[in-house]
């Protein structure tokens, strides 16, 4: 009788184990389905990285800046973000261009805001690079075109992240609205961060999305200093600061981080400076050479590699 009772207990335990396994499987499936809708997996993976790599105007050390070739190379090299300077043309189209004029990086002349998209599209945005950097010159860079923000989103979709900079938004009313409309059209809200020298521009975007990472850009002409009051004010609307690397130091980085803000210095192109920035504890780095930065990060993570 004891043996029969024992067999009965064993069967009951087996049944309970199977039931628990079924419930656990169902729970995992439920969590996964909810995660697909509400969790941003790219963000979760990105947060594990020690330093965020931002391809400044793309991998612009190797290809014509702010072109699809440059952005494509930045993505291929493994940058976390491609940085895009957003400007608006005379006919209300958004294009990627750093300077307020087309003079330096095309064969044309004129202010971006005074030219139509058709006029800008007629320009050669690549040959200047081949002439200035013959070591990296390529035939297919010749006659490269200035891309629109739409074309960039179409080219890369959710295969990368975008650090969007609103350039001189006070001179182009409605720029932020058009930019954000494109972000929503391509369902990229979880794939963008926005930076600007304009607090008003960032505040406007914050009213549309409480979670999008925002970075207040700062430029220093002398050794950088920042007050706790300024840090507190920035912290009311932004997640971090972008400052010119050559004017900051480790104390500046510490102070920014102590305030709870992130710091992404720009533009760091020499590996000795990249190493310094990483050792200071910066959260991300803007660079024209994302492969060099990733190499530095790897070496610092594994000195014996």
- Verify whether residue 133 is a known catalytic residue: no
User: b vs e for 237-259, b when ≥16 Cβ sit within 10 Å of the residue's Cβ?
Assistant: bbbbbbbbbebbeeebbebbbeb
- Verify whether residue 98 is a known catalytic residue: yes
Separation of alpha carbons 61 and 82, rounded Å: 13
Cβ-in-10-Å burial (0-12, 13-18, 19+) of 31 comes to exposed
Cβ-in-10-Å burial (0-12, 13-18, 19+) of 32 comes to exposed
CB 160 within 8 A of CB 186: no
Separation of alpha carbons 175 and 198, rounded Å: 13
Sign of the dihedral defined by the CA atoms of residues 55, 59, 61, 63, in that order: negative
> Catalytic pick from 20, 98, 133, 286?
98
Q: List, by residue number, the catalytic residues.
A: 56, 98
């Amino acid at each position: 009788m004891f043996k029969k009772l024992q067999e009965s207990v064993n069967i009951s335990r087996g049944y309970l184990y199977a039931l628990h396994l079924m419930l656990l499987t169902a729970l995992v499936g439920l969590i996964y389905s909810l995660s697909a809708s509400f969790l941003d997996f790219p963000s979760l993976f990105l947060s594990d990285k020690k330093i965020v790599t931002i391809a400044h105007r793309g991998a612009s050390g190797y290809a014509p800046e702010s072109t699809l070739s440059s952005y494509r190379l930045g993505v291929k090299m493994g940058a976390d973000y491609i940085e895009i300077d957003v400007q608006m043309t005379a006919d209300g189209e958004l294009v990627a261009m750093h300077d307020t004029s087309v003079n330096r990086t095309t064969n044309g002349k004129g202010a971006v805001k005074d030219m139509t998209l058709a006029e800008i599209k007629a320009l050669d945005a690549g040959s200047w690079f081949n002439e200035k950097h013959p070591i990296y010159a390529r035939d297919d860079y010749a006659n490269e075109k200035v891309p629109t923000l739409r074309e960039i989103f179409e080219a890369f979709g959710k295969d990368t992240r975008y650090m969007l900079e609103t350039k001189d938004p006070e001179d182009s009313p409605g720029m932020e609205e058009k930019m954000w409309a494109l972000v929503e059209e391509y369902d990229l809200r979880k794939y963008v961060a926005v930076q600007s020298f304009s607090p008003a521009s960032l505040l406007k975007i914050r009213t549309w999305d409480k979670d999008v990472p925002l970075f207040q850009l700062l430029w220093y002409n002398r050794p950088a200093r920042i007050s706790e009051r300024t840090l507190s004010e920035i912290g009311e609307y932004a997640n971090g600061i972008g400052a010119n690397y050559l004017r900051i130091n480790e104390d500046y980085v510490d102070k920014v981080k102590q305030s709870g803000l992130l710091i992404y210095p720009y533009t760091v192109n020499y590996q000795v400076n990249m190493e310094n920035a990483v050792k200071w504890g910066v959260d991300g780095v803007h660079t024209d050479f994302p492969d060099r930065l990733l190499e530095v990060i790897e070496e610092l993570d594994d000195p014996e590699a």
